[in-house]
Amino acid sequence: MKSKLVMASLVGLLVANTYAQSMAPTDLPNFSVIGNFLGSYTEHAKSFDVKEIEISYQHYLYPSVKADVFTAFHKEGSGDVAFGLEEAFLTFSDVIGIIAPNINSNLGLGALVGKKRLGFGKLNSLHPEQWLYVDRPLATQSLLGGAEGLVGEGAQLNYLLPLPFFSQIEAGLWTVSAGHEHEEDDSHAHTGIEYENRVFNSRLWNGFELSQSQELEFGLNYMISNVTADESGDKIDVAGLDLTYNLELPADRKFLLKAEAYQAIYGDEGHERETQRGGFILGNLTLNKTYNAGVRYSLLGKHGDEGEADSQLSLMLTRQLTETSKFRLQYSINEHSDDMVAAQIIFGIGPHSHVLQ
């Protein structure tokens, strides 16, 4: 099945390339390729990986319906390269308009159906090429699906509340596809929450324009995993708060402050449910068109009385090569594991866009 997917993907790219070169009008989707190469060094391990090659296909199916498909070649811990479906979803921007095209309700009810990174906080739904660092923060990895993030198959409704400021409520029901499926190839092996079964996810996302150059966003998030479990002890409850502050400075400079805090209540197999908290804070300054620098601190508390608290401090420097390609250095100081130096190259080929996140 996977080899068929690979073949279909390559044939698609070839056809697109042929059409593009002939300059003929086409109804082919936007194709893009994103490459993520990562080298890392710690006292006990060093590696260089073609971490991921993502191929995306994006296309409008109807004025208010867009299809996004993201496939990826991903290096496994064994060294084998696996091909998989990262995300594939349809976005319906006007649900009422689809059901009754002649009613111009403009109700603001949207839907999303398919396989998607769950919108819990701001970070989980982002793709690696959108990150300002080479890896997800310690607490996010542990509590929200490991190095890859929490991905689910299902549906989500979203509604833009009729308020004078931006406020969108989102609610979705998903079957999670273990977000830590690639854990064996990750230097920070995922030891956190094992999500299973159905996940109900909700988010209230708010945004305020403080001034012409300042914007503040905050989100309230709540998720229940294993919602159909008979025993309440098997359920996993996660609450989260995210905060984003954007400041635009003269000469195309920008400052970003981002923080997320999580509280998870879950039980390890055969144990009572206990609480675990964690989060991160990130500051990033875009110095000019070429460079941006950031610092990130992540803290993960104990799970009940088990284990010990952990923390991580990371410094990042990114050199933007072109609009779609960048080179990044990161130095991470880990409280309970080796410090790490990482170098990453991200490159993009072709048109590629993401919905506002």
Partner 1 sequence: MFYNKLFGCFALICVLTGVAFATPVTVVSISDDFASIAQSIGGNHVNVISLIKGARNLHSITPKPSMVMHLKKADLLIRLGMDQDSWIDGLIHVAKNSRLFPGQQGYIDASKNIQKLEVPQGSIDGSMGDVHLHGNPHYWLNPENGLVIAKQIKDQLILIDPDHSADYQANYQDFSKRLSAKILQWKQALVLYKDYNFVTYHKSWSYFFDAFNLNKVGDLEALPGIAPTTSHLVALSNTLKQSKQPAIVLTTLFYPKKVSERFAKKHDATFLFLSSNVGSAGVTSYINLFDYLVDSITQ
**Residue 13 C-beta: closest distance to partner 1, Å:** 13
**Residue 286 C-beta: closest distance to partner 1, Å:** 8
**Residue 272 C-beta: closest distance to partner 1, Å:** 40
CA distances (Å), origin 171, targets 88, 97, 149, 189, 333: 18, 20, 18, 30, 37
Q: Do 215 and 187 contact (CB within 8 A), yes or no?
A: no
Of 1 and 251, nearer to partner 1 (C-beta) is 251
Which residue(s) pair with 242 in the sheet? 219, 260
Residues at the contact surface with partner 1, assessed by CB under 8 A: 17, 20-21, 60, 63-64, 66, 91, 93-94, 97, 104, 106-110, 160, 164-166, 168, 205-209, 212, 215, 217, 246, 248, 251-252, 254, 288-290, 322-323, 325, 347, 349, 351, 353-356
**Residue 115 C-beta: closest distance to partner 1, Å:** 18
CA distances (Å), origin 223, targets 228, 297, 307, 312, 351: 13, 24, 24, 25, 33
Q: Do 325 and 300 contact (CB within 8 A), yes or no?
A: no
Of 62 and 297, nearer to partner 1 (C-beta) is 62
Of 212 and 228, nearer to partner 1 (C-beta) is 212
**Residue 62 C-beta: closest distance to partner 1, Å:** 9
d(CA 324, CA 45): 30
Return the structure tokens found at 2.
């996977």
Of 158 and 225, nearer to partner 1 (C-beta) is 158
CB atoms within 10 A of CB 149: 22
Of 102 and 228, nearer to partner 1 (C-beta) is 102
Which residue(s) pair with 168 in the sheet? 160, 205
